[in-house]
Amino acid sequence: RIMRPDDANIAGNVHGGTILKMIEEAGAIISTRHCNSQAGEPCVAALARVERTDFLSPMCIGEVANVSAEITYTSRHSVEVQVNVMSENILTGAKKVTNKATLWYVPLSLKNVNKVLEVPPIQYARKEQEDEGKKRYEEQKLDRLETKQRNGDVILPVINPEPHTVGYSQSSLIHLVGPSDCTLLGFVHGGVTMKLMDEVAGIVAARHCKTNIVTASVDAINFHEKIKKGCVITVSGRMTFTSNKSMEIEVFVDADPFVDESRERYRAVSAFFTYVSLSKEGKPLPVPQLLTETEDEKRRFEEGKGRYLQTKAKRQAQMQQAAQQ
């Protein structure tokens, strides 16, 4: 579809969140279709996890986004979907890969939303494809378990913060979940959640560096708990780390089923977003360093640095590998 002014920031760059939402919709369609392809209980595929995603090149207003999706692995209860996004300038014909994402879905019964159904297996062209898929499946399963445990943090407000401190840029928004945000089962689409997360992270980044910012990458996102129609969700973001030219922002999503007395507010999702600051010509700008004050902030800065160096090393290894081929 054509990118509209509402999909973009004032500099004309399409929000990463808009792209994440399109990716998730494509993933939900293909995996729901697959899981219903054999006779049996009807089901809806629910997003369980999105693997780390890089935004390779910015998309602009007026360009057309082409989204394609393919199922690449099935375990007994989950589906791995690979989604590619290309931006096409229909005036010049130029096409660019904008985004590649891997998503995991789980089929939930339409009749009983707490029942996870079995996934029809796919055929693999080669045995190695199945083995590699299985390896990816095991890895993500482990990572999901891990993040579930360290999911208890809360963002506390700060009064009169200094510029470039963590408290200065931290932000949160609330959103009342409406019918158009939800699947047939009455739960929020993963893509809607990701769009709100990107919105908050973008505001944190812009408050920190006061320039035009764009999403550079999103770390793996795990969806631990479903969010029901009628909930209020609070999406909060705080900066955790800055390198010379990038900012890492941690985002939390908390759901408050306030009309349902029996449930407490709970943490539904958390993730790290990385942003870069761009000049008017679209070149990366240096980013003011994050000033850490408390012990926790210093610890999170070091952890962010670890993730940053690890990603950098991985990318260099890939480039060397590519150069040798």
Instruction: Provide the annotated active-site residues.
Output: 9, 198
Shortest Å, Cβ 245 to a copy of itself:
19
Contacts of 319 (CB under 8 A, 6+ apart): none
Q: Does 53 bind a copy of itself (CB under 8 A)?
A: no
Where do runs of H (alpha helix) occur along 157-290?
A: 166-169, 190-209
Shortest Å, Cβ 133 to a copy of itself:
23
Shortest Å, Cβ 95 to a copy of itself:
11
Q: Residues 124, 127, 130, 132: what is their CA dihedral angle, to the nearest 10 degrees?
A: -130
Q: Which two tokens stand for residue 99?
A: 């985004």
Contacts of 106 (CB under 8 A, 6+ apart): 45, 46, 48, 77, 78, 79, 116
Q: CB-wise, 15 or 300, nearer to a copy of itself?
A: 15
Which segment (201-209, 269-277, 283-291, 307-315) binds a copy of itself by CB under 8 A?
A: 201-209
Q: CB-wise, 29 or 113, nearer to a copy of itself?
A: 29
Q: What share of the chain is helix, strand, coil (3-state, %, to 5)?
A: 30, 35, 35
Helices (H), strands (E): how many in the chain?
Answer: 5, 11
Q: Does 152 bind a copy of itself (CB under 8 A)?
A: no
Single out the residue of 125, 159, 322, 323 in contact with a copy of itself (rule: CB under 8 A): 159
86 by Cβ neighbours in 10 Å (0-12 / 13-18 / 19+) ranks as middle
Nearest to 137 by CA among 121, 125, 149: 121
Single out the residue of 10, 125, 142, 323 in contact with a copy of itself (rule: CB under 8 A): 10
Q: Does 224 bind a copy of itself (CB under 8 A)?
A: no
Q: CB-wise, 222 or 228, nearer to a copy of itself?
A: 228
Single out the residue of 13, 74, 87, 171 in contact with a copy of itself (rule: CB under 8 A): 171
Distance, in Å, from the CA atom of 214 to the CA atom of 9, rounded to the nearest integer, reads 9
Give the footprint of a copy of itself on residues 262-321 (CB under 8 A).
none
- Residue 195 · residue 50 · CB < 8 Å: no
The binding site for a copy of itself (CB under 8 A) comprises: 1-2, 4-6, 9-10, 25-26, 28-29, 32-33, 36-37, 39, 42-44, 61-62, 64, 88, 90-93, 110, 156-157, 159, 163, 171-176, 178-180, 184, 199-200, 202-203, 206-207, 210-212, 229-230, 232, 256, 258-261
